[in-house]
Amino acid sequence: MIWWLEDPTRAKAERRGIADLAERASWLRNVRWHLSSGAVLAVDFDVDHEGEVIPLTMTYSEFHPNAPPRVVPREGTRLSGHQYGDGGSLCLEYRADNWTADITGATMLESAHRLLTSERGLAPVEVPSAHRLSSGQSVRGTSFRFLITQAANERLRHLEAGLCVEIGLLEKFQFGVVATTVTDIEGSPWVGAWPVGVPGTSRRGFAIRLPPDFSMPTPTREGLSSLLGDLGFAALRERAMQAGEDLDFVILTSEDPAHFLVFDANGTRHFCRSRTLMLEPVESRVPYSYATLAEKSVGLVGCGSLGSKIAAMLLRAGLRRFTLVDDDVLLEGNLVRNELASPAVGVHKVDALRARLIEIAGEVEVKAHRIALGGQESAEATDLVMSGLQACDVIVDATADPSCFNFCAAVARASQRPMIWGEVFGGGIGGLVARVRPEREPEPQAARNQIVNWCNAHGVAAPLAHTVAPYAGLAEDEAPLLADDAEVAIIAGHLARFVIDTLVRPDGSAFPSPAYAVGLSRGWIFSAPFETWPIELVGAEPWKAERDVASLEQSLELLRELMPGAFDDHDQPAQ
């Protein structure tokens, strides 16, 4: 985009404004307009201050007037403390963070004049900085980073000055960055910068709080050696200087703590200082009512595209106990819709998803079963999985498989646990989400039958999983229509919301209906995206029939037959 061709009126106003400034300001000289590479509009000018001539160039942004121009020294020199490196642009009063389209080039020239004439000449003054670095900007370009919480920092500051204590650290290397955090101080566990249980390399190091008359050492062999020697830590100094000995030091002054690494790499001894990131206290970003989720457990059957996303969403909401069931292996074709990534290809989905949950939140209790519930498995394996699901607070079927649903429903009925299920409709036109709870909705099988009848009662074939391939449909020309990751994620999100609502609102619900058909595009009964149809369920009979005295007597009689001698004749069933 060549803005000055598309908006010649603004370009003319820019030139006139600078011409007017040159007439009024004696310091502005030698104004010359030109086009730089790429037809970019630029203007050369000189600032005359106390006999010094400072040559500058202002280059307009390609997106002017919606982005600020650059003002740089023409000779590539360092002119100011408010400059992005030698020859870099000046950091003026008007920048990307406070730029508005009504600011003109003439205003930028005046700002450059104010900055340079304040810092230079016979009576220079320090110009206060309005620049505030974000945490990302502060560590940009650094490979070693030390992340410390304010609580851990406060604990370290209570160490006696001049003493050395042993500390534990956890180091992670990822994306070309070595990040380190404190995990214990003098053997006392401490919460670091990421959750306990996140994979990393455990290291032992030493923390030293310097006496008031000591300054922070330079990250060199001489600087660290001299400091340890002056503090009287001769043995520690010797260890740090020895080849093959890797050591970490956290050294504190009145300022923030600094982390020093001493290590060998390719036969060369290195002394390095990490860039410190002081972390603010973590505030909860989920509702307070979600605190109860940490003690709840979810049985999730199906760890494919739908189930893997549900698990990650529930984990981020606060759940920490999962029973995962799936016999499938992650393949390359699964990556387009799965929470898992390419390193997990070839791994059972339950194992890869367990690792993913730990990667997100650290310590997580996950029971993983590589079993196809409702598939060709041994009776013992099926019983094992069903027993594990029975102990969960809620059961989620994310398979869209009728046979698997039957087993999940049986567990829900037997354990009197809520059950949630759903599927993505063929072609990604929408999906189905449903929830049943004991004494509130029909038992799962009856509820599912009602939902299927509801879907089929609209005069158009319902795109359910047992009628078309999962996530696929056919267009008029028979070309396949596939649900994409965003469509699957929407249905997964609604199912996760059902789970959370069930666990945090045991006596109520934010959802007025137990099931919904959710439209994502026009098709079937949906006339437009985001169209939602509530599905009402009738009947809420007890999920388990009450046992009467006669049936209890029959059970007891069977026990007597199977276990002769275990009961006396006077044993009677409980009333």
Tell me the Ramachandran region of residue 232: left when phi exceeds 0, alpha when psi lies from -120 to 50, beta otherwise.
left
Least confident of 255-259, 339-343, 405-409: 255-259
Three-state SS annotation for 481-546: EECCHHHHHHHHHHHHHHHHHHHHCCCCCCCCCCEEEEECCCECCECCCCCEEEECCCCCCCCCCC
Same fold, 3-119 and 291-535: no
Reading the block at residue 397, the tokens are 């079927």
Residue 356: in which H helix or E strand, if any?
helix 349-361
Neighbours of 170 (CB within 10 A): 21
Least confident of 49-58, 115-124, 413-422, 510-519: 115-124
pLDDT band at 476 (very low <50, low <70, confident <90, very high): very low
| Phi then psi dihedrals of residue 94, to 5 deg | -115, 115
- Residue 314's closest CA among 425, 211, 398? 398
Half-sphere exposure for 189 (CA within 13 Å, toward CB): 4
- Rounded distance between C-alpha atoms, residue 64 and residue 265, angstroms: 48
- Residue 300's closest CA among 198, 193, 389, 238? 389
Higher pLDDT, 549 or 335: 335
Q: Please, what is the Cα angle at 310 between 460 and 413, to 5 degrees?
A: 75
Instruction: Report the percentage of the chain scoring pLDDT > 90.
Output: 69
Q: Are 177 and 143 in contact (CB under 8 A)?
A: yes
83 beta partners: 90
Q: Are 193 and 279 in contact (CB under 8 A)?
A: yes
3 state DSSP class of 170: strand
Q: What was the pLDDT predicted at 484?
A: 93
| Domain 142-279, classified CATH 3.40.140, yes or no | yes
Q: What was the pLDDT predicted at 478?
A: 46
- Rounded distance between C-alpha atoms, residue 372 and residue 325, angstroms: 7
pLDDT digits (tens, 9 = 90+) for 503-549: 999 999 999 999 999 999 999 999 999 999 999 999 888 897 665 66
Q: What was the pLDDT predicted at 74?
A: 94
Rg (CA), the chain: 34
pLDDT digits (tens, 9 = 90+) for 233-264: 999 999 998 888 889 999 988 778 999 999 98
Instruction: Please give the DSSP secondary-structure letter assigned to residue 178.
Output: E
Instruction: Please give the DSSP secondary-structure letter assigned to residue 31.
Output: E
For the chain, give the mean pLDDT.
Answer: 89
Q: What is the pTM of this model?
A: 0.78
Structural domain spans, the chain: 3-119, 142-279, 291-535, 545-575
If one looks up domain 3-119 in CATH, what number appears?
3.10.110.10
Q: Are 370 and 326 in contact (CB under 8 A)?
A: yes
Taking residues 421-443, what's their average pLDDT? 94
CATH of 291-535, one of 3.30.479.30, 3.40.50.300, 3.40.50.720, 3.40.50.2300: 3.40.50.720
Task: Check pLDDT > 50 for residue 224.
Answer: yes
Q: Please, what is the Cα angle at 500 between 498 and 506, to 5 degrees?
A: 95
pLDDT digits (tens, 9 = 90+) for 96-124: 889 999 999 999 999 999 999 999 877 88
Least confident of 16-20, 154-158, 378-382: 154-158
Q: What was the pLDDT predicted at 272?
A: 93
pLDDT band at 188 (very low <50, low <70, confident <90, very high): confident
Buried b (16+ CB within 10 A) or exposed e, 429-460: bbbbbbbbbbeebbbbbbbbebbeebbeeeee
